[in-house]
Amino acid sequence: MKRRTFLMTTTASALATGAGAALAQAEPPIRIGMTVSSTGTFALAAQSGLRGVEIWVDDVNARGGIEIGGKKRKVELVKLDDRSDKTTVPKVYETLIKDEKVDLLFGPFGSTLTAAAVNATETAGKFMVIWSASADSIYAQGFKHIISATQIAGSLLGQPGVRAIHALGAKKIAFAYLDEPFPASLTQGAADLAKQLGMEITMNEKFAKGTKDFNILIQKARASGADAFYPTAYEGDQMTIARQLREANVNFKAVYLVYGSQPQFLQQAGKDADYILSQTLLHEKINWKVTHGLNRAQMMERYGKLFPNAQYAADFQTALAYGAGVVTEEVIKAAQSLEAAKLKEAALKLNDKIVTVTGEYQIDQTGKQFKNAFSIMQNLPGGGLEVVYPPQVATAKAVYPAPAFDQRK
């Protein structure tokens, strides 16, 4: 890969909505490096997240930058392509650090790629802000200079869905998961909670990356007598699972797909998305009392202005990445430094003092995020997405059991 493949810099001049932002700056910019998947499994989510980071860059630069030592410095975002390839990621992060001379870094999308990046950033003594990786295994390795700014730990991420399914009355649940760190971690935490709640786990099986035919898993889940089916993978796989459930005419009282409320999922899955339970951090009916950064409505407005031709609307990946930028800004301001150790120290001191568009911020010494819990949605035919759990923010009562496919219009 040529070093400059997919290399772009985002500065005030590239994103500012006002007229003619000057390129010349009295103070050197804060250079932040990250990789983005232009192709492959993670491309959709990675590019959605990138737009969230770019909203933050646009906003912070429109305000003159981040003040360090009494002088404001604008942010320059340096991006390279990782092609959704974990073997490429370490080399690309080394390029960002050694050749592009970035001051700090954002992680790539997802646990698989982030796990590959973190060794490079730690070896170089650089601070890395994680916006999407939730696998607990990343935080269990003793890395000193990482924080998960907005993404809740994987062992906690899947639990709201189980709570919702249990509250609906399901007693038996079948799990299936893609054999990668994020789905495995999410499923482990979800299964642990299901046991604690007294639910019977009728199946808990992994499947390989590249699986296209899920019929064996679907039929096995049905044969297990499960009330609820909870398969975890990335978005493309979950679209396939939703379609194959309908094609096989296999009915469960509840089906839970993590990505089932994503705009692109709803657009491409069509009626296959009906009655699916899912989770999200971003919806017009979910509004946190933000203390730092733009609120949901403001972020969505900025998204529309900056990306009028985007194929898809902003989603929770956009919000996670935007919120991570907001946290990064507060960490830099608190540290008054770009040194990794000082940034990590400042990040810990900001616990419970920040609420972004995705919720409250709280990490432990490992950098693991404990808050930013998801709300549970259901796609109701004729009504669209509704919040069905937790009760405090619910906008509708979930349909349970879901109608059989042959009884749907």
2 lies in some domain: no
> Residues 126, 253: one domain?
no
366 lies in some domain: no
> Residues 149, 225: one domain?
no
Q: Total domain count for the chain?
A: 2
367 lies in some domain: no
> Residues 244, 307: one domain?
no
In whole angstroms, what is the distance from residue 118 CA to residue 107 CA?
Answer: 8
Work out the end-to-end distance of the chain between its first and last CA atoms, rounded to an integer number of angstroms: 50
> Residues 310, 243: one domain?
no
> Residues 279, 292: one domain?
no
Count helices and strands (H / E) in the chain.
14, 17
> Residues 172, 296: one domain?
no
Q: What is the CATH number of the domain that holds 327?
A: 3.40.50.2300
369 lies in some domain: no
> Residues 302, 267: one domain?
no
In whole angstroms, what is the distance from residue 186 CA to residue 362 CA?
Answer: 19
Buried b (16+ CB within 10 A) or exposed e, 130-168: bbbbbbbebbeeebebbbbbbbbbbbbbbbbbbbbbbbb
8 A C-beta contact, residue 137 and residue 181? yes
1 lies in some domain: no
Tens-of-pLDDT digits for all 409 residues of the chain? Answer: 444 445 556 554 445 444 444 444 469 999 999 999 999 989 999 999 999 999 999 999 999 999 999 999 999 999 999 999 999 999 999 999 999 999 999 999 999 999 999 999 999 999 999 999 988 999 999 999 999 999 999 889 999 999 999 999 999 999 999 999 889 989 999 999 999 999 999 999 999 999 999 999 999 999 999 999 999 999 999 999 999 999 999 999 999 999 999 888 999 999 999 999 999 888 998 888 899 999 999 999 999 999 999 988 899 899 999 999 999 999 999 999 999 999 999 999 999 999 999 999 999 999 999 999 899 999 999 889 999 998 888 999 999 999 999 999 8
Q: In what order do the strands lie in the sheet with 375-380?
A: 277-280, 375-380, 384-389
> Residues 103, 160: one domain?
no
**Full residue range of the structural domain in which residue 62 is found:** 8-153+286-360
From the list 156, 123, 161, the residue with the least C-alpha distance to 141 is 123
Q: Outline where DSSP puts E strands in 215-276.
A: 228-232, 254-255
347 lies in some domain: yes
Question: The whole model's pTM is what?
Answer: 0.79
Phi, psi of 11 (to 5 degrees): -125, -175
Any alpha helices (H) in 36-135, and if so which ranges? Answer: 43-62, 89-98, 110-123
In whole angstroms, what is the distance from residue 15 CA to residue 323 CA?
Answer: 18
> Residues 345, 386: one domain?
no
Pseudo-torsion of CA 234, 240, 242, 247, nearest 10°? -170
Is residue 382 left, alpha or beta, with left meaning phi > 0 and alpha meaning psi from -120 to 50?
Answer: left
> Residues 350, 381: one domain?
no
> Residues 210, 265: one domain?
yes
